[in-house]
Structure 1
Amino acid sequence: MTLSEYDGYRPPEKPRRSGGRRKRRGGGTGPGGADGSREMAMVPEAEFASYYDRPIVKPPPWEEPIGIYLFLGGVAGGSSLLAAGAQFTGNEKLRRNSRLAAIGAAGLGAVALIVDLGRPERFLHMFRTFKITSPMSVGSWILGAFSAGAGVAAAAEVDRMTRRRLPLGPLRKLLNLAEKPAGVVSAAFAAPLAAYTGVLLSDTANPTWNAAKEDLSFVFVSSASLASGGLGMITTPVEDARPARMLAVVGSAAELAASEFMERRMDPVAAEPLHQGRAGRMHAWSKRLAAVGGAGALFAGRSRVVAVASGAALLAASALTRFAVLHAGLESTKDPRYVIEPQKRRLEARRRAGKIDDSITTAG
């Protein structure tokens, strides 16, 4: 027998047994303790497997830095909205703290993204083109536009904090003119920044992420709201942090509701990784902390200690939500069952609806 170089990729086959016990037509005892009086199963129970034990869907090469980026992007977007509200209501302390939080979170998130990409120039290559059908391309430009506005607004705050000691010269007048429009620009891109990562994950063949494509962005936006509200409660005195507390309470309720709604609408098999293993533990704790932090935010207007504790719980809840979704998706690529069973159910649903010409398998 001749072998090609590609045969080296094949796993070794188990040796076949010759002979063996034949099935008796009459009485007697067959394999497995059967008495021969009833028909024995000739086909073994089906098992979900893939060629050469390789994943059906290739897992994305994403690690912890992407989870950090998902979390910080939400914090940046929510903080920018808080800053814009404080800008129009004259809440100087909340405006300052939220603007600094927005640019800080955006900057650290960009660093985490660059770390995951491996080389800084890959991040710059994202801005070489704009493709409306690519969530990655659109998201890169959203991040760029947001960071530009948030950076100008934060620079104005730093200049005030240093009592105009920055060596800006004639640029200071330009900075003062651009401060308020820049705050509005960053707020305009805040919600897209928090939401596009949900689109980015769900616009893939990953079983768990794709099954949540209708609702994942709503979960991420709600998570961003409670995280930025929690951070505002930590950094701002209680007498100035009322808008942050309101955002935290609304965000907590919205995330708990959106997560529950998402799980109910997902394929039950594709949703399993969200409730199992490491991802399941993180997902469960994110719900607990969101509930505790949201309840604490209701009473944080009287106590600085309660405000800080509730804000920390909300930040942890938001981070755990992002990491739970990330790891659940990575786990769902390891078992062919998470790919095959939802596909079979979708095909059966199309057949029941009378659609038999939109899939490879069309015969009844």
Structure 2
Amino acid sequence: MSSTYKAPELGPEDKAEIPVDSSERAMPQRPRWSGPTYYGRSQLKASPFNEWVVGAYIFLAGLSGAGMVVSTIADTLRPDSARITVRNARYMSLLAPVLGSPLLIWDLHTPQRFYNMLRIAKHTSPMSIGTWILMSFTGFAGVSAGAEMVSALLPGTRPWMNTAARIAQVPAALTGAGLGSYTATLLSATSTPFWAAAPRTLPVRFAASSIAAAASALALLEPETGMRRRLEGVAAVALATEFVAGLVADRTYEKAGVADARLSRYGRVEKIGVTGFGLVMPLGLQLVGLFTDRRTTRQLGAIASIGAITGSALLRVATIGIGDESARRPEISFRFSQPENLSAKDEGWSIREKMRRLMYAKNKR
């Protein structure tokens, strides 16, 4: 006796109900992708990072590296008036190796992974390049900060220690410049849509944000009015650069179809914390400070500096969180995976060109 088996009608064209959390349930549904998905499931995995832990490492790395860049330039142009700023920047450079590196190693869950990254050096791997940038910066910044500390404790060694600190701060500034932006390049090299959609503007945002945070932190610690105003001016220029880069990135995200990933909790963090509190407010306060008395100007500058530092930290956290959201939502990842999204005339190479160059580099090795 035979029986007829009826195949289920559910297929990749249909969207099955999948569990979502409360934030996703309340999120407005404006999918840019109208084609099929695999039962409404994501084709990508979100990163295993803890947004706040890794975001804190990226922030501290950018703050330390950019601080050395700003102080080295200041020490070259104004060695006398910038003495306190240079000293503070050398000590601040230790934040990345002392606090940032343990956060990174802790989030790896297996400390041996960091050790294994030191066993190789690959010029085609952003992770490998970033590891050696961090290690190089740690060495040079450590020498510069150590020499500064010895000269303060042992005044008789001051001429020799000051010379050693000035020599070490130059390579520390060079590697610090890379430390402030390499993490954006690393994120852009992944398949996460929000990170990979703007591989040119994301490093600019990270670098400008790092300069703004470092200059703001040094301005808070600077007692001399003239030098403090110069540092606040540097921070304002960096914030304006970050703001413009953000506008360009917004257009890129809209064009790539990944902007809906911002309709989430971390999207609100970016809108309110980064753009509002970390960009618009500091720039507005700096502008108002031009027309007030000296005491009010200093107070407004301090508030603006705190806002810039906070916005820089939240930029990293929000970027990681929005990227994870873009990976979890299939309509975003499928839309971004279309070949026209990364044409050579827009942001980077096309997918076909990327694969061709990747295979060429692999065969060459």
Q: TM-score interval w.r.t. the shorter chain? A: 0.7 to 0.9
Secondary structure of the structure 1 residue equivalent to 2:118: coil
**Aligned match of 1:251:** 238
**Aligned match of 1:77:** 65
Contact 1:194 / 1:220 at 8 angstroms: preserved in 2?
yes
Secondary structure of the structure 2 residue equivalent to 1:60: coil
Distance 1:204 1:216, change over 3 A: same
Contact 1:202 / 1:212 at 8 angstroms: preserved in 2?
yes
Q: What does 1:65-214 align with in structure 2 at a 5 Å threshold? A: 65-88=53-76, 89-90=78-79, 91-164=82-155, 175-214=161-200
Contact 1:249 / 1:295 at 8 angstroms: preserved in 2?
no
Which amino acid counterpart does residue 61 of structure 1 have in structure 2?
P
TM-superposition CA deviations, 1:135-172 (whole Å, max 9, x none)? 0000011111111111111112222333459xxxx9x8
Deviation (angstroms), 1:46:
6.0
- Structure 2 CA distance, aligned partners of 1:348 and 1:265? 10
> Can you give the 5+ residue segments of structure 2 that lack an aligned partner in the other structure?
1-5, 11-32, 345-349, 356-365
Which amino acid counterpart does residue 259 of structure 2 have in structure 1?
A
- Structure 1 CA distance, aligned partners of 2:141 and 2:337? 43
Q: What does 1:279-290 align with in structure 2 at a 5 Å threshold? A: 279-285=266-272, 286-289=274-277, 290=279
Query: Is the counterpart of residue 302 in structure 1 residue 294 in structure 2?
Result: yes
Identity among equivalent positions (%) equals: 29
**Aligned match of 1:10:** none
Query: Is the counterpart of residue 219 in structure 1 residue 205 in structure 2?
Result: yes
Which amino acid counterpart does residue 99 of structure 1 have in structure 2?
R
- Structure 2 CA distance, aligned partners of 1:140 and 1:359? 23
**Aligned match of 2:336:** 342
Secondary structure of the structure 1 residue equivalent to 2:244: helix
**Aligned match of 1:293:** 282
Deviation (angstroms), 1:118:
1.8
Distance 1:158 1:339, change over 3 A: same
Deviation (angstroms), 1:15:
7.5
- Structure 2 CA distance, aligned partners of 1:180 and 1:250? 26
- Structure 1 CA distance, aligned partners of 2:104 and 2:94? 15
Which amino acid counterpart does residue 49 of structure 1 have in structure 2?
T
Contact 2:256 / 2:341 at 8 angstroms: preserved in 1?
no
Aligned length: 309
Secondary structure of the structure 2 residue equivalent to 1:241: helix
Provide runs of 4+ in structure 1 moved above 6 Å: 13-17, 347-350, 357-360
- Structure 2 CA distance, aligned partners of 1:215 and 1:358? 20
Deviation (angstroms), 1:113:
0.7
Contact 1:153 / 1:179 at 8 angstroms: preserved in 2?
yes
Q: What does 1:21-40 align with in structure 2 at a 5 Å threshold? A: none
Deviation (angstroms), 1:175:
4.5
Distance 1:330 1:107, change over 3 A: same
Contact 2:148 / 2:161 at 8 angstroms: preserved in 1?
no
- Structure 2 CA distance, aligned partners of 1:259 and 1:95? 30
- Structure 1 CA distance, aligned partners of 2:353 and 2:275? 39
Deviation (angstroms), 1:92:
0.8
Secondary structure of the structure 2 residue equivalent to 1:242: helix
Q: CA RMSD in A?
A: 3.1
- Structure 2 CA distance, aligned partners of 1:122 and 1:311? 36
Distance 1:296 1:151, change over 3 A: farther
**Aligned match of 1:328:** 322
Query: Is the counterpart of residue 237 in structure 1 residue 223 in structure 2?
Result: yes
Contact 1:59 / 1:330 at 8 angstroms: preserved in 2?
yes
Secondary structure of the structure 2 residue equivalent to 1:333: helix
Secondary structure of the structure 1 residue equivalent to 2:294: coil
Larger deviation, residues 97-106 vs 195-204: 97-106
Distance 1:313 1:106, change over 3 A: farther
TM-score normalised per structure 2:
0.76
TM-superposition CA deviations, 1:184-235 (whole Å, max 9, x none)? 1111112211111111000011111111112110111111111111111212
> Can you give the 5+ residue segments of structure 1 that lack an aligned partner in the other structure?
1-12, 18-44
- Structure 2 CA distance, aligned partners of 1:71 and 1:359? 29
- Structure 2 CA distance, aligned partners of 1:105 and 1:226? 17
Which amino acid counterpart does residue 140 of structure 2 have in structure 1?
G
- Structure 2 CA distance, aligned partners of 1:329 and 1:246? 32
Distance 1:197 1:14, change over 3 A: farther
Deviation (angstroms), 1:79:
0.5
- Structure 1 CA distance, aligned partners of 2:324 and 2:41? 14
